[in-house]
Amino acid sequence: MIAREVREELVRLLGPRNLLDAPEDLVLYEYDGGVDKHRPEMVVFPRTTAEVSAIVKLTAKHGIPIVGRGAGTGLSGGAIPRAGGMTVSFSRMNRILELDLKNERAVLQPGVVNLDITLAVQGDKYFYAPDPSSQRACTIGGNVAENAGGPHTLAYGVTTNHVLGLELVLLDGSIVRIGGKETDLPGLDLVGLFTGSEGTMGFVTEITVRLMRAPEAVKTCLAIYDTALDCGRTVAEITARAITPAAVEMLDGVMLRMVEEATHAGYPMDAEAVLLIELEGLNEQVEEQVEQIREACAACNAREFRVAKSAEERDLLWKGRKNAFGAVGRVSPFYYVQDGVVPRTKIAPTLEFIKGVSERYGLSISNIFHAGDGNLHPIILFDARKPGDTDRAKAAGDEILNFCISVGGSITGEHGVGMEKMELMENLFSPDSLDMIKAFKNLFDPECRLNPGKVLPTGRGCMEIRHKPLTEANML
């Protein structure tokens, strides 16, 4: 229980409108986009780095666990306060501090919405490349914490490839800067260390990112298949032909029908799978690559190959892809999104394995993913109101992720480990590697107060110190 004196000090620091502790308010902060839940004891809304520092110092004085939160769109439980304590919401630190187009840089507070970065510079023909499907809601601070990806990161890279500098508040409240606008500062790559650290080592309060020049030409193609295996084989075929599109997205038949019914984007209702492929670059280069992609798709038995005839048609196809999770919500009351990675050559056998998992567990599983880099997002449909359904969905997800590991892949490509996949870390890393990760965590958070119970498995992290058990009854 957070002491009254802490609350009084926070009211003096932030004002009464920047603090929540009533049960009816806290319930809105007990979950993210995943399936787990746990309620904080208090939520605070800083507006400046100095306020974040003061909050952290106050929690240090009283030994309070503290968790950062962006927009709450994460899918691995990263923003869930497993040990209770305090949630620091960065939603009111949402200013674009600087746009330096001459040097192709932007300086941002963590609460800036991802898409708003591109909207602020697209009139000058620039954009911010990492584009998670939740980019209309997710914030850059959360993107940094989870090292978010997106469809167009196949060609451009994920968040860590575009973050150049960070301002941080550490566990003792000290404020430090690492990196900057320069492209290659001397010393250790601390920006790379903190990007993807999931809020377990400090709070990010300012971010310097790289902006990209908009391409001269963009072409969006849709390849349609009668089997998901042929669709999966096409990805390896495109790679074998030394073509790197800006994006290669795959939707299986279950998913594309849900998407089409919700968005009317033009996806064929009778197909078993489609590839959404986008090419960017110089006019002549793009035109040539479209024909190369057409040949690769035909070689893998695509029944039809379309090229969007207008920007409106292109936007509609991407609207279907970007709103896929919302489309699933029209069909199933609950769903569990996974985030495994496999080599591109293993996409087809992985889809076969997922089909077998679906049959064994009696759960419908749809597939939508960044096929170009092998980042799969199997979506497991279940009903948490049925006893045991949540546990079966989680077990099915674990089987899929362990299969990804077995074929040379990973348990996450962009959603992070969080609390959802932490026990699987032992299947991916050696004991010595886990000890090294633990050493970094302990270096920045020896008291185990920064987002406790995340990333490291039980016995190697600090979950056993601060963990409050979660059951199916209190998760959903």
Measured distance CA(58)–CA(39) in Å, rounded: 20
Backbone φ, ψ for residue 33 (5° rounding):
-85, 0
* Pair (200, 268) in one structural domain: no
Measured distance CA(465)–CA(458) in Å, rounded: 10
Name 166's bridge partners. Answer: 178, 207
* Pair (160, 179) in one structural domain: yes
Q: Is residue 326 part of a domain?
A: no
Domain boundary, last residue among 32, 64, 89: 89
Q: Is residue 245 part of a domain?
A: yes
* Pair (308, 360) in one structural domain: no
| Cβ pair 212, 129 in contact under 8 A | yes
pLDDT at 461: 67
Residue whose structure tokens are 């090292």: 147
pLDDT at 183: 82
pLDDT digits (tens, 9 = 90+) for 142-163: 999 999 999 999 999 999 999 9
pLDDT digits (tens, 9 = 90+) for 206-265: 999 999 999 999 999 999 999 999 999 999 999 999 999 999 999 999 999 999 999 999
* Pair (198, 228) in one structural domain: no
| Cβ pair 107, 207 in contact under 8 A | yes
Q: What's the Cα-to-Cα distance from 6 to each of 51, 156, 281, rounded to whole Å?
A: 14, 45, 55
* Pair (100, 207) in one structural domain: yes
In CATH, what number is assigned to the domain containing residue 65?
3.30.43.10
Q: Residue 59 is encoded by which pair of tokens?
A: 């929690």
* Pair (227, 208) in one structural domain: no
| Cβ pair 105, 210 in contact under 8 A | yes
**423: which DSSP letter?**
G
Helices (DSSP H) in 379-466: which residue ranges?
Answer: 389-406, 425-428, 431-444, 463-466
Q: Is residue 414 part of a domain?
A: no
Domain that holds residue 347: 332-406
* Pair (135, 226) in one structural domain: no
Measured distance CA(436)–CA(449) in Å, rounded: 19
| Cβ pair 419, 76 in contact under 8 A | yes
Using DSSP, state whether 284 is helix, strand or coil: helix
In CATH, what number is assigned to the domain containing residue 365?
3.30.1370.10
Name 281's bridge partners. Answer: 217
Measured distance CA(34)–CA(48) in Å, rounded: 29
Which amino acid is present at 181?
K
Q: Is residue 42 part of a domain?
A: yes
Residue 411's closest CA among 419, 400, 343?
400
Residue 259: its H or E element = helix 253-263
Q: Residue 105 is encoded by which pair of tokens?
A: 């840089």
Residue whose structure tokens are 């790559």: 189
* Pair (187, 105) in one structural domain: yes
Residue whose structure tokens are 């023909």: 125
Domain boundary, last residue among 282, 314, 346: 314
pLDDT at 411: 97
Rounded to 10°, the helix 389-406/347-361 angle is 160
| Cβ pair 304, 223 in contact under 8 A | yes
In CATH, what number is assigned to the domain containing residue 158?
3.30.465.10
Helices (DSSP H) in 149-247: which residue ranges?
Answer: 153-156, 190-194, 228-240
Spell out, as residue ranges, where the chain has pLDDT lower than 70: 461-476
pLDDT at 471: 45
Q: What's the Cα-to-Cα distance from 183 to each of 32, 189, 382, rounded to whole Å?
A: 34, 11, 46
- Number of helical H runs and strand E runs in the chain: 18, 18
* Pair (101, 198) in one structural domain: yes
**Domains: count for the chain:** 5
Q: Is residue 322 part of a domain?
A: no
Q: Residue 9 is encoded by which pair of tokens?
A: 């000090």
In CATH, what number is assigned to the domain containing residue 224?
3.30.70.2190
Q: Is residue 8 part of a domain?
A: yes
Burial of 239 (0-12, 13-18, 19+ CB in 10 A): middle
Q: Is residue 416 part of a domain?
A: no
pLDDT digits (tens, 9 = 90+) for 388-447: 999 999 999 999 999 999 999 999 999 999 999 999 999 999 999 999 999 999 999 999
* Pair (221, 284) in one structural domain: yes
Q: Residue 151 is encoded by which pair of tokens?
A: 């469809």
Task: Calculate the CA 56 to chain-centre distance.
Answer: 26
pLDDT at 467: 45
Q: Residue 357 is encoded by which pair of tokens?
A: 């998992």
pLDDT at 185: 85
Sheet with strand 334-337: strands edge to edge: 304-307, 217-225, 273-281, 247-252, 365-370, 378-382, 334-337
Kindly report the pTM of this predicted structure.
0.94
Q: Is residue 396 part of a domain?
A: yes
* Pair (268, 368) in one structural domain: no
Regarding beta strands 334-337 and 163-169, do their DSSP bridges make them parallel or antiparallel, or are they unpaired?
unpaired
Q: How many residues does the chain have?
A: 476
Burial of 264 (0-12, 13-18, 19+ CB in 10 A): exposed
Domain boundary, last residue among 89, 119, 142: 89
* Pair (208, 170) in one structural domain: yes
